[in-house]
Homo-oligomer: A and B are copies of this chain.
Amino acid sequence: MPASAIRKLVPFADEAKSKGIKVFHLNVGAPDIKSPQCVLDAVRNNKLDHVSYSNSAGMMELRKAFAEKYYRKAGINIDPSELIVTTGGSEGIDIALQIACDEGDELLVMEPFYTNYYTFCYLNKINLKVVHTDISTGFRVPSIDEFEKLVTPRTKAVLVSNPGNPTGTLYSKEDMLALGDFCKKHDLFLISDEVYREFCYSDEPHFSAMNIPGLEQNVILLDSVSKRYNLCGVRIGCIISHNKDVIASALKFGQSRLCAPVYGQIATLGAMDTPDSYFEATKKEYIARRDYALGRLNAMEGVYSPVPGGAFYTIAQIPVDNAENFCKWMLTDFNYNGMTTMVTPAQSFYRTPGCGINHIRLAYVLEVPELEKAMDALEAGLKAYPGRMI
């Protein structure tokens, strides 16, 4: 089992804190925004006196509420029977990969990608093959020829995250339709991870893979309430598909772990009443954070980061010999007026050898005044780092 690259620096951060250094966490996508009040109330006012198993597919009341109160509004038309509640988005990834691929089958993913995609491929012995996207083009979807080159008889699925973690790239309707045509041509599953759907910063509405015409039997939608409602800890997500075999198979996996957490399901039922104003305020806040963080990053000597169109991450190229060493050094050997900044070395988001060695991922999950201090420390660290390459 591979260790989490994102979490491997945590002991050094703990050590820095124990020495009294203030650490700004831009390393994980754990936002600082409150969960909606209606969620907190739903849990505090719950009437359960016996927390028994729910249905393995999820509480029917929740599946209905998802379909009617959330997805319909998001322009995704599904029947409650086409949705299985999962224990977070993580379980959804694990189950979807096992449904789409047997051992030794191949999955196509654009790099840089969310590292747990690799973890679950590793555990399920699925061969993850990457299509490279480059920082120099803002991580845009490359020509479909790049996907065609990788197709073999064992290719079973494409997995895409839109908007993407770790790049923040927002794919257009045209991008998604092109991927859809490719999947249709080769009869591949298109597994679409859309957990950052609410975090899109252009005027175009988000285009879901569920709305690609004619691909209904191939699309598996992965979703999570973690980021949308700032509910990372409730561990509730879902798998959605119009393909009945996919749902029947997902239910079998669901039965093996009995049910998704019931208090999390109650919280999520409460979340269905979240007012639009919550999302509007959150989005406005993230645009301000993004604009501030990207402005600061691109003003630093030797640093480049394309401006992300969604989610709350960005990948930056920095002038260092090795980003992992730099990230560690920031925690073990550096502070700026008693403060330092923790970011994630990005090499583990790539599979192509040598790629991303001088890239970092930042999650702009702090308020602007905090971000300002975090950027000050990062800038000072880049200047002081012994392995600076400029």
Contact = CB atoms under 8 A, between A and B. Distances in A.
Interface of A: 1-4, 7, 28, 30-35, 39-40, 43-46, 48-54, 56, 87-88, 90-91, 94, 98, 103, 116, 119-120, 123, 125, 230-235, 249, 252-253, 255-264, 267
14 contacts: A1-B249, A4-B252, A44-B46, A51-B230, A52-B232, A53-B232, A120-B256, A233-B259, A235-B260, A235-B261, A235-B262, A261-B263, A263-B264, A263-B267
Contacts of A88: 257-258
Contacts of A255: 3-4, 7
A118 to B, nearest CB: 10
A50 to B, nearest CB: 5
Which secondary structure characterizes the binding site on chain A? loop
B30 A51 contact: no
A29 to B, nearest CB: 9
Nearest to A29: B53
A1 B120 contact: no
Contact of A45 (B4, B28, B44, B119): B44
A48 B54 contact: no
B98 A234 contact: no
Contacts of A267: 51, 263
Contact of A258 (B54, B90, B103, B258): B90
A98 B52 CA distance: 28
Given A2-B252, A234-B261, A260-B235, A34 B49 contact: yes
B49 A40 contact: yes
Contact of A35 (B2, B51, B231, B264): B51
Contact of A256 (B44, B123, B261, B263): B123
A102 B87 CA distance: 25
Contacts of A39: 51
A247 to B, nearest CB: 13
A12 to B, nearest CB: 16
Contacts of A2: 252
Contacts of A43: 43-44, 46, 263
A93 to B, nearest CB: 9
Nearest to A59: B233
Given A3-B255, A35-B48, A233-B263, 15 more contacts: A1-B253, A2-B252, A7-B255, A43-B44, A44-B46, A50-B230, A51-B230, A51-B267, A52-B232, A53-B232, A87-B235, A232-B258, A233-B259, A261-B264, A263-B264
